[in-house]
């Protein structure tokens, strides 16, 4: 079987499939685990039954969002949506091929990356990087004074941000964390630049804060992973499909230092999502009870989720900074299979009902009367 990293998808356009459903996508961040999201997007685009109105992404989710949007921008005003979908699949493949190449560079670059990651062995990079750098009191301003980030050059060569900013559909929203206030900053339209995406993916113990218009930003996962608000306020569709790559739960309590740091990583980057889900659940219940009037200000949202299930839980969080081609291939295939399974079970639910239990999965037990 040919590796998905070997060649971009075929340019042949699959036959149109009716009916179509308009959805919004919310793409979580998670380093190289974003290859799972690539697989999900590839399958949704190839299937042809969904139209994507808006996409909100953080960190790796932001990279997937702009890569997909680049395909739509390249297709231009063509009435053939299948052509746009194939162009988006091809751009996603090229970007992830580039990521895999970064993971197979020569000894000099690997040495630089080990320095940036605190000299941990490759398989232990990730969650442990933070503790190691902190223990040596070494910030990226000392370890990486030139602020070298190979991802910047890759995105600069592949993505036309001016063209993406002019797209009417899908609309792209990228979130980063404002360092001074801790608030989520949403970049869209003309403000959606290479710097905005680099800010969204800026892990503060690896890279210097990204400066935009005199303000400094870190990884968007701290404040909105991903941010759902722009999909609610700026898009018409009530269906939000969340592509979740950070597991919500673990069956066993971590005990080793490595396991503990992995779980802390997951909890940190899921916290903002849980908060947003609680708010959506609260508003949905007020609308259902008639205590709020549905209209321009408030509307009921239909939530859906595509995740890797127990198979994704078997992949340690510490591999998020590994650009190993075998890992990326595996995650891509997992994303494809998860999306196919979700479409088979839930496509007919789009526009009709939520397919996740927000209270059970994201809110937890509530006191009686809430």
pLDDT of residue 5: 60
Peptide linkage before 19 cis (omega within 30 of 0)? yes
pLDDT at 169 over 80: yes
Which of 155, 9, 13, 2 shows the shortest CA–CA distance to 79?
Answer: 13
Residue 166 token pair: 């002019």
Q: Output DSSP code: residue 167.
A: -
pLDDT at 366 over 70: no
Q: For 250-298, write each residue's pLDDT tens digit.
A: 778 888 887 787 788 778 778 888 888 888 888 888 888 888 877 767 8
DSSP string, 263-282: HHHHHHHHHHHHHHHHHHHH
Angle, CA of 298, 299 and 304, to the nearest 5°: 135
With a CB cutoff of 8 Å and minimum separation 6, the contacts of 112 are 148
pLDDT at 127 over 60: no
Which of 57, 88, 89 shows the shortest CA–CA distance to 242?
Answer: 57
pLDDT of residue 12: 46
pLDDT at 26 over 60: yes
- Name which residue leads in pLDDT, 314 or 77: 314
Q: For 287-333, write each residue's pLDDT tens digit.
A: 888 888 777 678 889 999 999 888 888 888 778 877 788 899 999 99
Percent of the chain past pLDDT 70, that is, above it, reads 82
356-362 long-range contacts, CB within 8 A, separation 24+: 356/303, 356/304, 356/305, 358/277, 358/278, 358/280, 358/281, 358/284, 358/303, 359/281, 361/248, 361/277, 361/305, 362/248, 362/273, 362/274, 362/277, 362/278, 362/281
pLDDT at 358 over 80: yes
Residue 109 token pair: 């670059």
Residue-averaged pLDDT of the chain: 83
Q: For 199-251, write each residue's pLDDT tens digit.
A: 999 988 888 999 999 999 999 989 988 999 999 999 999 999 999 998 877 77
Task: Read off the pLDDT band of 110 (50, 70, 90).
Answer: very low
With a CB cutoff of 8 Å and minimum separation 6, the contacts of 39 are 4, 331, 332, 333, 334, 335, 336, 337, 338, 339
CB atoms within 10 A of CB 144: 17
DSSP string, 21-71: EEEEEEE---GGGHHHHHHHHHHHHHH--EEEEEEEEETHHHHHHHHHHHH
Of the ranges 4-13, 87-96, 141-150, 326-335, which one carries the lowest mean pLDDT score? 4-13
pLDDT of residue 299: 86
- Name which residue leads in pLDDT, 121 or 261: 261
Task: Read off the pLDDT band of 187 (50, 70, 90).
Answer: very high
pLDDT at 173 over 80: yes
pLDDT at 115 over 80: no
pLDDT of residue 104: 61
pLDDT of residue 189: 96
With a CB cutoff of 8 Å and minimum separation 6, the contacts of 336 are 39, 40, 42, 43
Report helix angle 34-47 to 325-346, nearest 10. 40
With a CB cutoff of 8 Å and minimum separation 6, the contacts of 288 are 300
CA atoms of 249 and 337, how far apart (whole Å): 21
Using CA atoms, how far residue 274 sits from 134, 268, 270, 324, in Å, is 28, 11, 6, 30
CA atoms of 228 and 242, how far apart (whole Å): 9
Average pLDDT over residues 342-347: 96
CA atoms of 261 and 131, how far apart (whole Å): 8
- Name which residue leads in pLDDT, 265 or 167: 167
pLDDT of residue 175: 96
pLDDT of residue 367: 52
pLDDT at 125 over 60: no
- Name which residue leads in pLDDT, 48 or 3: 48
DSSP string, 76-91: TT-S-HHHHHHHHHHH
Q: Output DSSP code: residue 209.
A: P
Peptide linkage before 170 cis (omega within 30 of 0)? yes
CB 206 within 8 A of CB 117: yes
Average pLDDT over residues 116-145: 51
């Amino acid at each position: 079987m040919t590796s998905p990293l070997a060649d971009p998808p075929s340019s042949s356009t699959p036959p149109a499939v009716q009916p179509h459903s308009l959805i919004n996508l919310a793409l979580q961040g998670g380093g190289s685990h974003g290859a799972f999201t690539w697989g999900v997007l590839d399958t949704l685009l190839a299937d042809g039954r969904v139209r994507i109105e808006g996409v909100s992404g953080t960190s790796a989710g932001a990279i997937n969002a702009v890569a997909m949007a680049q395909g739509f921008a390249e297709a231009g005003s063509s009435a053939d949506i299948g052509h746009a979908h194939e162009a988006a699949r091809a751009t996603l493949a090229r970007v992830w091929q580039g990521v895999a190449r970064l993971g197979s560079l020569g000894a000099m670059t690997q040495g630089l990356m080990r320095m940036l990651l605190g000299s941990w062995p490759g398989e232990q990079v990730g969650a442990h990087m933070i503790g190691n750098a902190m223990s040596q009191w070494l910030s990226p301003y000392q370890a990486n004074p030139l602020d070298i980030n190979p991802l910047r050059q890759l995105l600069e060569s592949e993505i036309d941000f001016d063209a993406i900013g002019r797209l009417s559909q899908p609309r792209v929203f990228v979130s980063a964390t404002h360092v001074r206030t801790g608030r989520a900053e949403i970049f869209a339209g003309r403000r959606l630049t290479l710097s905005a995406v680099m800010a969204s993916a800026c892990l503060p113990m690896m890279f210097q804060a990204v400066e935009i218009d005199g303000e400094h930003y870190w990884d968007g996962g701290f404040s909105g992973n991903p941010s759902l608000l722009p999909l609610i306020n700026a898009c018409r569709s009530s269906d939000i499909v969340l592509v979740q790559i950070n597991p919500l739960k673990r069956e066993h309590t971590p005990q080793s230092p490595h396991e503990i740091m992995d779980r802390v990583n997951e909890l940190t980057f899921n916290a903002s999502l849980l908060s947003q889900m609680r708010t959506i659940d609260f508003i949905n219940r007020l609308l259902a009870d008639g205590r709020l009037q549905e209209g321009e200000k408030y509307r009921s949202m239909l939530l859906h989720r595509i995740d890797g299930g127990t198979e994704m839980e078997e992949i340690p969080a510490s591999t998020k900074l590994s650009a190993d081609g075998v890992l990326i291939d595996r995650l891509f295939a997992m994303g494809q299979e998860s999306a196919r399974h979700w479409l088979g079970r839930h496509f007919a639910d789009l526009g009709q009902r939520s397919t996740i239990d927000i209270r059970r999965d994201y809110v937890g037990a509530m006191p009686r009367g809430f």
